[in-house]
Structure 1
Amino acid sequence: MFPLDDLSGLTDQFTQDPARLIGIPFALVGAVLMSLGAQFQHRGVVKVEQNSGRNASSGLNVAQLKALLSRPSWVIGTIMLALAIVFQLSALNFSPLILVQPLGAIALVITSILNARIANITLNRKSIIAIGACVGGIALFVTTAAIVGIDRPVSTSALITILIAMAGVLIAFATAFLLARTKARAIFYIIAAGAIYGFVATLAKVIISRIQHGNVDWLTIVCAVALIAGTVLGAYFVQNAYASGPPDLVIAGLTVIDPMVAVCIGIVVLQEAAGAPLWAVLAFVAAGLISVWGVFQLARHHPQAKV
C-alpha cells in the first residue's frame, strides 16, 4: 500500500519549514541554464564539425577539440552548464531531493522547445510521447527513492567499492569506444556519459562531506582524481553525442541515466533503501523501464536523429 503517512509527513515538513522551498527557484534557474548551455554547446560542436570537413560522430579528434575552445557559442554553453551545476548544488543545499531533483527534467522540455524553434522543426507525436515518458519516469524514480531512502554515511569499504565499480565502468566504456568508435551512435555516448556522471555526482557528494568533517586523507585524494577522470571522459562523450544527435536527445539521456545510476549506487552499495516495501521496488522497476524506453524512442523517432 502506498505510504500516505510518509507523504503527509513531507507536507508537514514543508509547512513547518518554508525555507525548504528556497531550493525551487535555484533548481528552475539551473534547468534553464542547462537547456541553454546544451543548445550553445551543440551549435559549437556542429560548427566545428562542418569547418573541419570531418564527421565527428565517430569521435572528436584533437584538432576539433582545440577548435571548440575558439568557438564563442561552445565557450558560452560551457559556462552556462557550469553555472547550472552551481545552481543545482545550491538547490539541494536548501531543499530535499524529492522537491528539486524532478525539476531538473524541465531542462529536457525547455531544450526540446528551444531546439525545435532554432532548427525550425516540428516534433512529431512519437517524440513528444518519448519526452513525456522520460520526464514522468525519472520523476517517479527519484520521488520513490526520496520517500523510502535513508541517508547513510559512506563507509570506507563502501567508498572503495564505488571507486572499483567506477574504474570498471570507465575502462569498459573507454574500451568499447576505442574498439567500435566508427559504429558508435548518439545513444552510446549518452548512456556512457550518463553512467559516468552518476558516479561523478556520488563522488562529489562524498568529497564535500569528507572535507566538511575534516577527513581529508589518501582516499579522499583518490576520489578527487577519479572525479576529475570521470568528468573529463564524460564531457568528451557528451561532445561526441552533440555531433551525433540533437541536444534534446542528449539532455534526455543525461536527465534519465545520471540520477538513476546515482540512486542505484545508493540502493545497492550504500543500502539506502534497505527494507523498502514491495510497492517501492515495483515503482523503481516501472519508472526505470518507462524513462529508458523514452530515451530509446526519442533516439529513434526524433526528426533530427541520424540513421
Structure 2
Amino acid sequence: MLPDLTELAMESLTPMQALGIPVALIGAVFLAVGAQLQHRGVGKVEAQIAPPVRTAGLSLRQMAALVARPSWLIGTLMLGLAVVFQLTSLALAPLTVVQPLGAVALVITAVLNARVSNVRLDAASIRAVAFCVGGVALFVTIASFTTTSRRVSDAQVFVILAILAVVLVALAALFLAYRHRFKAIMYIVGAGVVYGFVATLAKVVIDRVKTGDFEWLTLTCVVALLVATVLGGYFVQNAYSSGPPDLVIAGLTVIDPIVAVLIGILVLREADGAHWTIMFAFLVAGAMAVYGVFQLAKYHPQTRH
C-alpha cells in the first residue's frame, strides 16, 4: 500500500513542486561536502592549538582560530548554500516530499569521508547507515500521509518557545556539569534536538511573515531561532573534534527531522485522528533511525579506541 501511495503523491506534484526534488538533492551534496571540509578545519586547528591539558570541547581560542582556516570557511560557505537550497526546496515542494532527501547527505558523507581518511567502512557501519537512512525515510513518509499542516496559533508558539527554553537550559547545564565526559554522540544528539526546534521556528516565522503577522511574538521566535542556531553550531563543531563527519551528519539528518515531526504531532496537533497503528509505526521508524545513529557511533572505525 505504501509504495502505491508514494507513487500517487509524486504524480500529484506540479512541475514547480517537482523542481524542489533536484534542488533538495543539490543541497544534500553541499551539506555533505561542507561537513567534510569543516571537519578537516577543526582537525587542523586542534593540531595547531592543543591545550596544555586535554579538555572536552573546543576552547574559545580554538573556536576563534577556525575563522582563519580556509577549509573551515569554505565548508561553512557550503553549509550556508545547503541551507539556501533546503529553504528553496521547502518553498517549492511540500516538507514531506523533500525532507527525506536530506538523508542522501549521510550516504555521500560516509563515502567521501572513507575516501579522504582512507578508512574503509565495515559491514556494521554500513548496516548502521542503512538503519539511519531507512528509518528516517520511513518516518517522514508515514508523516506525509498522516499529518496535516495547520495554522500555528499564538498559544502553540508559546508552548514551542517554552519547551525550547527548557531544552536549551538543560543542555547548557549538562554541558557545563559534564563537559569532560561528553563524547561525539552527546554533542550530536544535542545539536539534532536543537536544530529540530530551529526548523520548526523557521517554518513558524516564514508562515507568519507571509500572513503579515510580524509582531513581538514573531520577533521572539527569530531571537530564539538565532540562539538555538548558535548553540547547535557550537555542539556540531565539538562533535567534529571528537567524531567523524558522517557520524555528525547521521545525527543531524536523523534526529533533526524526527524532533521537528514530533513537535508537529504533539504540539501542533498535525496528526489528530490518526489510528494507534500509525503512532506505533512512527515509534518503530524513529527507533530504527536512532538505533542506526548509536550503532554508527559504536562501530564506526574512527570512533573506536
Q: Take 1:299 and 1:240, find their aligned partners in 2: how far apart are those partners?
A: 15
Match of 1:44 among 24, 41, 44: 41
Q: Matches of residues 210-289 of structure 1 in structure 2 within 5 Å?
A: 210-289=208-287
Give the match for residue 142 of structure 2.
Answer: 144
Q: Take 2:100 and 2:89, find their aligned partners in 1: how far apart are those partners?
A: 12
- Matched residue type, 1:28: L
| Closer, same or farther: CA 4–39 of 1 in aligned 2, 3 Å | closer
Alpha-carbon offset, residue 9 of structure 1: 4.8
| Closer, same or farther: CA 56–230 of 1 in aligned 2, 3 Å | farther
Alpha-carbon offset, residue 279 of structure 1: 3.2
| Closer, same or farther: CA 164–121 of 1 in aligned 2, 3 Å | same
Alpha-carbon offset, residue 277 of structure 1: 2.0
Aligned length: 304
8 Å contact 1:245–1:306 — kept in the other structure? Answer: no
- Matched residue type, 1:96: P
Give the match for residue 193 of structure 2.
Answer: 195
- Matched residue type, 1:237: F
CA deviation digits over 1:69-96, x for unaligned, max 9?
0000000000100100110111111112
CA deviation digits over 1:156-192, x for unaligned, max 9?
0000000000000000011000000011000000000
- Matched residue type, 1:260: I
| Closer, same or farther: CA 10–57 of 1 in aligned 2, 3 Å | farther
| Closer, same or farther: CA 278–73 of 1 in aligned 2, 3 Å | same
| Closer, same or farther: CA 180–241 of 1 in aligned 2, 3 Å | same
Secondary structure, counterpart of 1:181 in structure 2:
helix
Give the match for residue 9 of structure 2.
Answer: 10
The 10-residue stretch of structure 1 (278-287 or 31-40) with the greater mean CA deviation from structure 2: 278-287
Alpha-carbon offset, residue 306 of structure 1: 4.8
Taking structure 1 as the reference length, what is the TM-score of the superposition? 0.95
Secondary structure, counterpart of 1:104 in structure 2:
helix
Give the match for residue 21 of structure 1.
Answer: 18
CA deviation digits over 1:29-60, x for unaligned, max 9?
00000000000000000110111123877111
Q: Take 1:143 and 1:35, find their aligned partners in 2: how far apart are those partners?
A: 22
Secondary structure, counterpart of 1:66 in structure 2:
helix
Unaligned ranges ≥5, structure 1:
none
Q: Take 2:138 and 2:68, find their aligned partners in 1: how far apart are those partners?
A: 41
Q: Take 1:8 and 1:227, find their aligned partners in 2: how far apart are those partners?
A: 35
Alpha-carbon offset, residue 209 of structure 1: 1.2
8 Å contact 1:56–1:240 — kept in the other structure? Answer: no
Q: Take 1:79 and 1:56, find their aligned partners in 2: how far apart are those partners?
A: 30
| Closer, same or farther: CA 13–123 of 1 in aligned 2, 3 Å | same
- Matched residue type, 1:94: L
Alpha-carbon offset, residue 278 of structure 1: 3.1
The 10-residue stretch of structure 1 (49-58 or 274-283) with the greater mean CA deviation from structure 2: 49-58
Taking structure 2 as the reference length, what is the TM-score of the superposition? 0.96
- Matched residue type, 1:242: Y
Q: Take 2:236 and 2:3, find their aligned partners in 1: how far apart are those partners?
A: 40
Q: Take 2:54 and 2:253, find their aligned partners in 1: how far apart are those partners?
A: 23
Secondary structure, counterpart of 2:301 in structure 1:
coil
The 10-residue stretch of structure 1 (71-80 or 273-282) with the greater mean CA deviation from structure 2: 273-282
Give the match for residue 33 of structure 1.
Answer: 30
Q: CA RMSD in A?
A: 1.5
Secondary structure, counterpart of 2:302 in structure 1:
coil
CA deviation digits over 1:266-301, x for unaligned, max 9?
000000001112332122011111001000000000
**Percent of aligned pairs with the same amino acid:** 55
| Closer, same or farther: CA 243–216 of 1 in aligned 2, 3 Å | same
Unaligned ranges ≥5, structure 2:
none
Alpha-carbon offset, residue 226 of structure 1: 0.4
Q: Take 1:29 and 1:233, find their aligned partners in 2: how far apart are those partners?
A: 26
8 Å contact 1:44–1:72 — kept in the other structure? Answer: yes
8 Å contact 1:57–1:244 — kept in the other structure? Answer: no
Secondary structure, counterpart of 2:181 in structure 1:
coil
CA deviation digits over 1:140-167, x for unaligned, max 9?
0011111101010110000000000000
Q: Take 1:141 and 1:70, find their aligned partners in 2: how far apart are those partners?
A: 40
Q: Matches of residues 109-148 of structure 1 in structure 2 within 5 Å?
A: 109-148=107-146
8 Å contact 1:127–1:298 — kept in the other structure? Answer: yes
- Matched residue type, 2:256: D
